[in-house]
Structure 1
C-alpha cells in the first residue's frame, strides 16, 4: 500500500477547542466546514460532541451530514440558506441559519414555520462580502424579531484582517459593530471573533466565538502571539522514502532541472505529490522532517512524488519516515515556502487516507 497518510490527532483537536473556549470566556462554535478543513467533519464533530456548544458549517449539505451521523448539538449555517425552499429542512433539523441579505429577511417573512427558528443576523462591518449594511441592520433586526416563528437571535459580523496584528481595520470594524449593537435591545448575544481575533484581539471576545483554523492547530497571524503557542497540530501528513539516488555535483533533479546539486548528494524519493494536496510550487528548501530531524525538499514537486536531501542524514534511507507537516513542522511554514496559506493546504488534501488516532 502507498505509504502516504494523514494522521488525525483527535486529542489535539479536543485540546485546541478547550483552549479556544477558555479564551472566549463564553460559548464557542466549532467550525467544521469544508470537511473540517480536510480533517474529516464527522470524526471531528463526534470528538467534540457533548463538549462543543455548537458547530459551524458552510451549507445545509454539510449540516445534514452531521445530523445523519448523530450530531444533535446546534449547527450554524454560516452562509445561511440559498433559497427559501431550504427553510423546511432547516426547521426539521433545528439548524441555525445566518441571515445576511435583505432577500433572506423577506423569505423568512413569507414562510411561516411551526417551530421557533434561531437566527444569526450578520452585519457587514467593513469586509463587504456577506452582511447587512449598518444603515439597514436595525430595520432587518426588528422585522425578523417580530416574526412569531423566530426564537433567539445573535448579532454577528466577520473580520477581514484580524490576522494582521498591527492593522487598524479590525478595530474599525469592531467600532462599527459596537455602534450597531448599541441600538439593539440590551443583552443581545453577539459573535464577532474568528480564530485570529480570538487569539490576538481580546476586545472581540463576546458571547459566542467562532474558532476555525485554530481548532486544527494552525494560524495565519503575522506576528508572534502568546495565545497561538498553545495550539497543537491535529494533522500530520506523512509518507516514506521509496527510493534513494546517489548523485554527483552538477546533476539536475526532477522536472525542468530546477534544482542542480552543488555537492555529492543522496536524494530520497518520497511517495507524495501535488495530487495528494502537497503544494506543487513548494520551492527547494521547503522544510520537511526526516526520521524526526529537520530536512528539506529539493527539486520540483511532481504529481505523485517529491525529492528530499538525505546527504546530511546518514542514517536515513529506504523506508525512512517523512513528515511533510504536522506536530514537528507547522503547516504554515510549508505554506510560506509555496505561496499558499494553511487553509488551502489543509482543506486541499485529497487521495490521502486519514488515520484517526488519539481518541
Structure 2
C-alpha cells in the first residue's frame, strides 16, 4: 500500500507521514484498498502537502474525487486540511483526543492516525478488526449491537508499544487471513486460542442483524447540448447526496413517479434508464437529451451553465452522472 511504512523503516526513525495516513484512512471509509490506491497516488502527487490541499479550489478537489463515492468525505477532507493548515501550522495534532476534534474525523480515523502515524496507544476498530475479535472471543451477539463489546475486547489486546505496527497487523489479519468467507484458520497466528475455530463456527461470525431492503427511488436527468458541443451542468448544493459535485439538471429523486422538471422547454428525447445503487437506496434515472438548444438561454436561476466541450471532463462527474453521459453517446 503506497501509504504504508514497513516496521523495519519505523525502527530506523522513518515514521509514516500523518498526511498520508489521514488521506488513506478517509479514502478507505466504505471503499476497498484496490479502489483507493490510484486515487491516493493522484491526490498526493497533485497536492503533496496538507498546505497544498488546503489551498486547492473546491471544484478541483471534488473533480479529482469523482468516482470514489461518498462525496461528503471530499468536503470534509478540505475542511480538515484547512483547519490543520490554518490552526496547526500544517502539522497534525498527535493525540487521539485532538484528532477527534478535527472536521470529518471520527473515532476510527482518529485512532488509526494516532496509532499508525504517531505510535500512540489507541483502539483501532474497523470491520476487519471487528471480525477478528468476534471470532477470537466467539462473540455471538450480532452487530451492530455488539460493537462496543468488540471495542472493549480489542482494547484488551492493544499493546502499549509498537501500537501502529499492531494496529496495521490486526487489520491485515482480518483482510488477508480471517476473511469474511472461508477464513484461512490453518495459517492464522492466533489459531491456537481462537474460540470460534475451536467451536467450529468461525466462518459464521460475526453475526449481523438483517438489514431492511433498500427502497427504489426514481428521477429524471436532463442532458442539454448546444450546437457547438457545450453541455449544461449544474453544481449540486454542498449539503446532501453528491453535495458539491457537478451533475445534470434533473427532478427530485422520490419513490413516487417523478414529476417532469426540464430546465427549459426543448425537444427532449427519452433515451432510456440508468441504474445506480447508493448506501440507502437504489436509483433509477430516466435520461432525456436535447441537442442544438438555444444558445441565448439564461440559466443563472437554475445554478446551471453551459460548459464548453473542450473544458468538460466526464471523469469529473460522480459515477451515476457518468452513466447518464455514457448513455447519451
TM bucket (normalised to shorter chain) is under 0.3
TM-score, normalising length from structure 2?
A: 0.26
Q: Pick 1 or 2: higher relative contact order, CA cutoff 8 A, min separation 6.
A: 1
Structure showing the higher helix proportion among its residues: 2
Considering fraction of residues, name the structure with more strand.
1
